[in-house]
Chains A and B, each alone.
Chain A
């Protein structure tokens, strides 16, 4: 059996990559993909702990996280499409209406 630490390390690496993606990329769609990566990292931790603690609630949580992620993706992508319609770009540096 692969120990819990290994899974947590993979999960932490995925989360780190996701945070880095949000920080360094300027394309709104790629930023969104990075957010998905972070959600998946959390899911991996949930399932790993679920096996370690012998409690299926962790997998139940992952199910709900997936539902929320799916809803979030649809709304977020609709916002990106609307942004593109109004600004003709999804480069987040170019969209600065709230910045003044």
Chain B
């Protein structure tokens, strides 16, 4: 059953990701990306990462993609779009190149996996004793990850100020 769910979710994720790149229309690309993010949330659930699965659906499939669709709507792109013939030529040289490099990395990682051993102390029993994934993660976030968490707020502030500066019309 778990394998069946895994195959379904991963096929949906990879298939719709390919459709994002392949589809000539940006709006449809964005819709396929939402589907991809959603099914990836399912993969996170299978990995028992409930908090990350929730964040995936809320932040990515929700907030980020609404932003994307909003900008596409705002720009009102003409259907002229891209040159499909040149696109197919680029696909023909890019795909083997990328597969070569990613395959190389995958081979190297698979070689190193043999030496991998569970080192952490956060097994399923520990997580259950903490009262679930979200509680365990929250406790970790406010102890071990407190400094990065606070720095995050500065990052978000910089993003907000940066966007306001960019969005302001220049006065000549």
Q: Contact residues of A with B, CB < 8 Å?
A: 1-2, 4-10, 12-21, 23-27, 29-30, 32-34, 36-37, 40, 43-44, 47-48, 50-57, 59-60, 62-64, 66-75, 77-82, 84, 90-91
Contact = CB atoms under 8 A, between A and B. Distances in A.
Contacts of A82: 166-167
Contacts of B159: 70-72, 74-75
A81 to B, nearest CB: 6
B162 A81 contact: no
B2, B43, B49, B81 — which one has the most chain A CB atoms within 10 A of its CB? B49
A64 B103 CA distance: 27
Of all A-B residue pairs in the complex, the 8 with the closest CB atoms, nearest first, are A55-B120, A71-B159, A21-B21, A78-B166, A24-B90, A23-B94, A54-B120, A16-B102
Given A8-B106, A81-B167, 14 more contacts: A4-B113, A10-B14, A16-B99, A21-B21, A27-B26, A30-B26, A56-B122, A59-B49, A60-B141, A64-B145, A66-B60, A73-B68, A82-B167, A84-B75
A77 B69 CA distance: 11
B84 to A, nearest CB: 11
Interface of B: 2-3, 6, 10, 13-14, 17-18, 20-21, 26, 29-30, 33, 36-37, 40, 43-44, 46-49, 51-52, 55-56, 59-60, 63-64, 67-68, 71-72, 74-75, 77, 81-83, 87, 90-91, 94-95, 97-99, 101-103, 105-106, 109-110, 113, 116, 118-123, 127, 133, 136-137, 140-141, 144-145, 148, 152, 155-156, 158-160, 162-163, 166-167
Contacts of A29: 26, 29-30, 68, 71-72, 75
Given A33-B29, A54-B122, A75 B166 contact: yes
